[in-house]
Chain A
Amino acid sequence: MATAEARVPGTPGLEHTGGTYSGGVWSWLTTVDHKRIAIMYFVTGFVFLLVAGLEAQAIRVQLAHSDLRILNPDLYNQLFTMHGTTMVFFAGMPLIVAFFNFVVPLQIGARDVAFPRLNAFSYWTLLFAGLFLYVGFGLSLAGVCNCAPDGGWFAYQPLTGPEYSPGPGLDFYILSLLLAGVGSIAGGVNFFVTIVNMRAPGLKFMRLPLFTWMTLIVSILILLAFPPFTVGLVFMLFDRTFGTHFYGAAAGADPVLWQHLFWVFGHPEVYILILPAFGVVSDVIPTFSKKSLFGYPVVVFSGGLIGFLGFGVWVHHMFAVGLGPIVNAVFGGATMLIAIPTGIKIFNWIATMWGGQIRFRTPMLFAVGLLATFTIGGLSGVMHSSPPSDLQQTDTYFVVAHFHYVLVGGTVMGLFAGMYYWFPKATGRLLSERLGRWHFWLTMVALNTTFFPMHFSGLLGMPRRTFTYSAGLGLDVFNLISTLGALLFTVSLLPLFANLWRAWRRGEPAGPNPWDAPTLEWTTSSPPPHYNFAVTPRVARRDPLWHPHVEPGLAWAGELEPGGVSPRLQPEVPPDPVHMPDPSYWPLVMAIGMLVATVGALGSLPVVLGGAALTLFGLFGWAFEPPERGGH
């Protein structure tokens, strides 16, 4: 990549932005740049991933052997609650949104998202929601108050109602997730509008890269799934705070209502977490097979179908509730249907590689790893799509094995593939392939060692969410293997950290397109300038970079790189003035206002009102912020 060095600008793009893009903490607090917000999301999500991973380690140590009493049951129950809640809302969500933020505007040839300040607001609410939850957990660990939620991430009623969980722990859960939900819904709006409205000329829907397609579908899922969850949380908050009876059976309400509201969100949430990983893989596999995606329309539509069907299957989390044979038959059948579009994707990915020239660089290793491990999770999923079969599997370690194969073997593998794929674009540095391979293989071994034995411990009678188990169950060996695998997960991160460290110290310059990839983000420099594209690209077909000679509109100059590998497609200096949004502190002010109101909702009306006032103040400041102070 020596030839690439020449075209990596020293401080990319900063000099073209009217001086608004300086360094320093203030610039990060006020940034509305999607690439910087992406980095903040990524770091936040990754830190929460490590924290939730640590919680999982504690859980696995406690379960290493039968009848251990290392953790007391209350602490254990808090730990699995925090592990699940953190992984879904504060690791999984920010990590996928980090990718949305970094990749989508670049893939569609846009200079930012549709609502840059809303984007910053989404991030701050997410961060504050996560910190708020952990303040509660920390206070509880320190023995100050009983502020850690312990109802599981699914918080079934009436256990989480005022009668059985009188302490403030569940309030931390409810309020944190309400706050996070605000940011998630705003993000859903933002990416939906961005993709619909801000595509480069000629970039029709059926020319979009698959990652952008999946982002569009996931944005719709977020918009449809979070409202019922929000309603459910508000009901729960009212029951706990104002003594209403939305869920209390003693007053004639039905606690199963919460289960419906939760899972009609909870199941689409699973697809919110997995479809972006499918999007990454659908971009990575063609690049490293040197061959366009096989059956592009079918892969797109199957993604849409998975999202659509995802709203009609939530009762498969409730087959043991006793809703009757017809309900179970309908939802069982709908669940089975999802296997069809999922299978189509797997076959199309394999067909993409078929006849290609597969380069096993690190992103491709993780993508192929996803195909293998996700398939295992998909097949165990079919086993409990059948309601009677599920009666022996739900709430056991068999299901724990299943969804970890899906979420670690699918989402995490996909996000690692995406991280290795777009890291050179985001930083301008290449990662080490050798360390990448170590990371991949350790992850594969750790994943399978941890989760495969859980299939057996589950079928042989180990229920979930139990802080210990009897020696008489005969499950010690399976659990010990799982624990060793979990510890190996920690080891597997070492080559990753070493790799990041190495790239930071002495990573080779990446150049605009180190992988010979076909989509628009690879036409601009690495890292991209603040404005992404000096000239707006024009697109005449799918995978435009693989067709330079038939893409007259795409290339700015059409001149070949010095090495002759790929055409240089963006000028170093924009020929025309660039219009970019100014930094703004109002999103932060508004998010702080909402955080204050959230803290107040724990029991202080004046604080709630103060927070509400600050939120309104931020909203007004935001609305009346003068445009283009910096000038361009």
Chain B
Amino acid sequence: MGRPNALLAGPVGRVDAREGRTYRGAPGRGPGGANARIRNVSIELLNRRFLVAATLVTGLAVLQGCGGAYPQSALHPASDFADRLDGLFMQIFWWAMGVFVVVMGALAYTIIRWRERPGATRPREMHGHALLEVGWTLAPALILVAIAIPTIRTIFVVDRPPDEPASLTLEVVGRQWWWEFRYPELGITTANEAHLPVGRRVDVRLHSADVVHSFWVPRLGGKRDVVPGRENQIWFTPDSVGVFWGQCAEYCGTAHALMGFRVVVDDSTTFDEWVAAQQAPATPPREAQARAGQGVFMSNACVSCHAIEGTVARGVFGPNLTHFGSRLTLGAGLLDNTPENLVRWIDSTQTVKPGNHMPEVALTEQQVQQLVTYLLSLR
């Protein structure tokens, strides 16, 4: 199921849009500005070295070249939130590498140096050594302190909601097995694809309509569970334009694996255009094929679950389809939104995404074609 490269977030790593942006560092992370930028560069170097190590260790240097980008990678941050987590992870990673080298070195030396040799006498007993033991108690303790300090600083940045609410709120409702996205300030309801403006903080409020899910867009930040009966939130400022992949990260039943979504980060002009388009009701179909498709939609089961603003379709159980044609994917991040895929989706949805709550409605081939034309005209 190859995806066009246009859907990927460009080359991995820092994107040009980062240049010149003011780094909002975590408290205690340095005074910002130049220092922070140096810090960024060094973290980036660490990132690269980690990936190099990864390829070496797994012996995949060649295959990696063909692997392409990792659109759902936690190692290629594109927001302040993801950036902090990545920086903290890399710090801990290098401490762990240091410990690994020391322990493995000591182990390897010991088992080679003290192998049984023929004719050796019974070894001298050593029942303990207070100084040594205090040493190897204190050393890990100090390393852990070195990890705990930035950890706790970061916790109080990423877990404690900021005092000022952001000017943009994204309400997320997790459902078996798709995502509803609402913009309360903008009056927009959409599904499985959120658009955000670059460089502006967004407050994400998380609700569940059924079971526990977890909202996770690795390049934009850490995951947060979506728990029925609770409101959770995260907040972040995207720093790069691109399409970022997200996926439910808490097991939620049959189609858990296929509960994906996209977050599209736009520059502010593109975002404003997207908002204006989304706020408008659906354009009435003009050509005959699409009009016929609308008839199919309104006279079949589709209408009872889906809403299309500006029509009589007001269903709330399935994704809002008002601007379905403008979306990159269908089936919750599952397939590229092409006519062929949409035909497959309507014809055999239970094969494409087993267990999902959409029934396979008996339609003629012609009706399906009309329906597809109509839905893709909803831009």
Query: Which residues of A approach B to under 8 Å, CB–CB?
Result: 66-67, 72-74, 77, 151-152, 156-159, 164, 249-250, 252-256, 289-292, 294-298, 320-322, 324-325, 328-329, 332-333, 336-337, 339-340, 343-344, 346-348, 350-351, 353-360, 368, 371-372, 375-376, 379-380, 382-383, 386-396, 452-453, 456, 459-478, 481
In the complex, A347→B141 CA distance in Å? 14
Query: In the complex, are the beta carbons of B159 and A461 less than 8 A apart?
Result: no
CB contacts (< 8 Å) of A380 on chain B: these are 96
- B319 at the A/B interface (Cβ < 8 Å)? no
Query: In the complex, are the beta carbons of A395 and B7 less than 8 A apart?
Result: no
Closest A-B pairs by Cβ, 4 of them: A391-B222, A461-B72, A249-B229, A466-B257
Stretch among B34-42, B145-153, B293-301, B337-345 lining the A interface: B145-153
**Could you jot down 24 A-B contacts, CB within 8 Å?**
A74-B254, A157-B212, A158-B211, A159-B211, A164-B211, A289-B114, A320-B214, A322-B227, A329-B151, A339-B140, A343-B137, A347-B106, A358-B111, A380-B96, A382-B147, A386-B89, A388-B222, A389-B92, A390-B222, A391-B85, A395-B223, A461-B74, A470-B1, A476-B67
Q: A347-B136, A463-B216, A473-B245 are in contact. Are A386 and B128 (CB under 8 A)?
A: no
In the complex, A333→B334 CA distance in Å? 39
CB proximity to A under 8 Å, residues B81-125 = 82, 84-86, 88-89, 92-93, 95-96, 99-100, 103-104, 106-107, 110-111, 114-117, 120, 122-125
- B232 at the A/B interface (Cβ < 8 Å)? yes
Partner of B227, one of A321, A389, A476, A478: A321
Q: A296-B128, A387-B151, A453-B58 are in contact. Are A375 and B222 (CB under 8 A)?
A: no
CB contacts (< 8 Å) of B317 on chain A: these are none
Query: In the complex, are the beta carbons of A388 and B140 less than 8 A apart?
Result: no
Q: A357-B116, A472-B71 are in contact. Are A74 and B355 (CB under 8 A)?
A: yes
Q: How far does the Cβ of A476 sit from chain B's closest Cβ, in whole Å?
A: 8
Chain B residue at minimal CB-CB distance from A382: B96
Partner of A460, one of B3, B75, B141: B75
Query: In the complex, are the beta carbons of A395 and B249 less than 8 A apart?
Result: yes
CB contacts (< 8 Å) of A297 on chain B: these are 128
Query: In the complex, are the beta carbons of B123 and A289 less than 8 A apart?
Result: yes
Q: A254-B229, A357-B116, A461-B73 are in contact. Are A351 and B107 (CB under 8 A)?
A: no
In the complex, A382→B74 CA distance in Å? 17
Query: In the complex, are the beta carbons of A467 and B257 less than 8 A apart?
Result: yes
CB contacts (< 8 Å) of A472 on chain B: these are 1-3, 7-8, 71, 245
- B17 at the A/B interface (Cβ < 8 Å)? no
In the complex, A377→B54 CA distance in Å? 17
Query: In the complex, are the beta carbons of A156 and B251 less than 8 A apart?
Result: yes
Query: In the complex, are the beta carbons of A291 and B125 less than 8 A apart?
Result: yes
- B172 at the A/B interface (Cβ < 8 Å)? no
Query: In the complex, are the beta carbons of A392 and B140 less than 8 A apart?
Result: no
Q: How far does the Cβ of B315 sit from chain A's closest Cβ, in whole Å?
A: 21
Query: In the complex, are the beta carbons of B228 and A320 less than 8 A apart?
Result: no
CB contacts (< 8 Å) of B92 on chain A: these are 382-383, 386, 389
Q: How far does the Cβ of A65 sit from chain B's closest Cβ, in whole Å?
A: 11
- B225 at the A/B interface (Cβ < 8 Å)? yes
Query: In the complex, are the beta carbons of B89 and A463 less than 8 A apart?
Result: no
Partner of A388, one of B67, B120, B151: B151
Query: In the complex, are the beta carbons of B155 and A291 less than 8 A apart?
Result: no
Partner of B250, one of A156, A289, A333, A468: A156
Partner of B96, one of A72, A290, A291, A379: A379
Partner of A355, one of B114, B141, B229: B114
Partner of A159, one of B148, B212, B214: B212
CB contacts (< 8 Å) of A357 on chain B: these are 114-117, 120, 122-123
- B63 at the A/B interface (Cβ < 8 Å)? yes
Query: In the complex, are the beta carbons of A474 and B212 less than 8 A apart?
Result: no
CB contacts (< 8 Å) of A328 on chain B: these are 155, 159
Query: In the complex, are the beta carbons of A477 and B67 less than 8 A apart?
Result: yes
Chain B residue at minimal CB-CB distance from A394: B223
In the complex, A117→B189 CA distance in Å? 65
Query: In the complex, are the beta carbons of B74 and A375 less than 8 A apart?
Result: no
Partner of A471, one of B2, B144, B254: B2
CB contacts (< 8 Å) of A289 on chain B: these are 114, 123
A-contact bits for B146-181, CB 8 A (1 contact / 0 none)? 011001101110111000000000000000100000
Chain A residue at minimal CB-CB distance from B103: A375
CB contacts (< 8 Å) of B251 on chain A: these are 77, 151-152, 156, 159, 395, 464-465
Q: How far does the Cβ of A26 sit from chain B's closest Cβ, in whole Å?
A: 45
CB contacts (< 8 Å) of A379 on chain B: these are 96, 99-100
Chain B residue at minimal CB-CB distance from A476: B67
Query: In the complex, are the beta carbons of B133 and A348 less than 8 A apart?
Result: yes
Of A294, A392, A471, A473, chain B has the most CB atoms within 10 Å of the CB of A392
Partner of A392, one of B7, B85, B232, B355: B85
Partner of B72, one of A77, A350, A453, A460: A460
Query: In the complex, are the beta carbons of A375 and B104 less than 8 A apart?
Result: yes
Query: In the complex, are the beta carbons of B254 and A294 less than 8 A apart?
Result: no
Chain A residue at minimal CB-CB distance from B218: A461
In the complex, A432→B141 CA distance in Å? 43
Query: In the complex, are the beta carbons of B89 and A383 less than 8 A apart?
Result: yes
Query: In the complex, are the beta carbons of B123 and A290 less than 8 A apart?
Result: yes
Query: In the complex, are the beta carbons of A295 and B70 less than 8 A apart?
Result: no
In the complex, A331→B75 CA distance in Å? 25
In the complex, A67→B353 CA distance in Å? 11
Query: In the complex, are the beta carbons of B74 and A337 less than 8 A apart?
Result: no
- B221 at the A/B interface (Cβ < 8 Å)? yes
- B256 at the A/B interface (Cβ < 8 Å)? yes
- B312 at the A/B interface (Cβ < 8 Å)? no
In the complex, A379→B96 CA distance in Å? 6
Q: A294-B128, A460-B74, A474-B67 are in contact. Are A329 and B210 (CB under 8 A)?
A: no
In the complex, A289→B123 CA distance in Å? 8
In the complex, A372→B245 CA distance in Å? 36
In the complex, A477→B58 CA distance in Å? 10
Partner of B245, one of A382, A389, A461, A466: A461
In the complex, A382→B88 CA distance in Å? 12
Q: How far does the Cβ of B205 sit from chain A's closest Cβ, in whole Å?
A: 11
In the complex, A456→B54 CA distance in Å? 7
Of B82, B84, B210, B256, chain A has the most CB atoms within 10 Å of the CB of B256
Query: In the complex, are the beta carbons of A295 and B129 less than 8 A apart?
Result: yes
Q: How far does the Cβ of A133 sit from chain B's closest Cβ, in whole Å?
A: 19
- B69 at the A/B interface (Cβ < 8 Å)? yes
CB contacts (< 8 Å) of B84 on chain A: these are 388
CB proximity to A under 8 Å, residues B225-250 = 225, 227-230, 232-233, 245, 247-250
Q: How far does the Cβ of B337 sit from chain A's closest Cβ, in whole Å?
A: 14
Partner of A156, one of B110, B133, B212: B212
CB contacts (< 8 Å) of A393 on chain B: these are 74
Chain B residue at minimal CB-CB distance from A298: B133
- B52 at the A/B interface (Cβ < 8 Å)? no
Q: A375-B100, A461-B218 are in contact. Are A344 and B136 (CB under 8 A)?
A: yes
In the complex, A376→B97 CA distance in Å? 10
- B255 at the A/B interface (Cβ < 8 Å)? yes
- B127 at the A/B interface (Cβ < 8 Å)? yes
CB contacts (< 8 Å) of B132 on chain A: these are 351
Q: A351-B129, A354-B114, A461-B74 are in contact. Are A332 and B214 (CB under 8 A)?
A: no
Q: A159-B211, A461-B73, A463-B248 are in contact. Are A354 and B110 (CB under 8 A)?
A: yes
Query: In the complex, are the beta carbons of B127 and A296 less than 8 A apart?
Result: yes
Chain A residue at minimal CB-CB distance from B132: A351
In the complex, A387→B228 CA distance in Å? 22
Query: In the complex, are the beta carbons of A159 and B115 less than 8 A apart?
Result: no
Q: A72-B354, A379-B99, A474-B69 are in contact. Are A481 and B58 (CB under 8 A)?
A: yes
Query: In the complex, are the beta carbons of A395 and B214 less than 8 A apart?
Result: yes
CB contacts (< 8 Å) of B114 on chain A: these are 289, 353-358
In the complex, A389→B96 CA distance in Å? 13
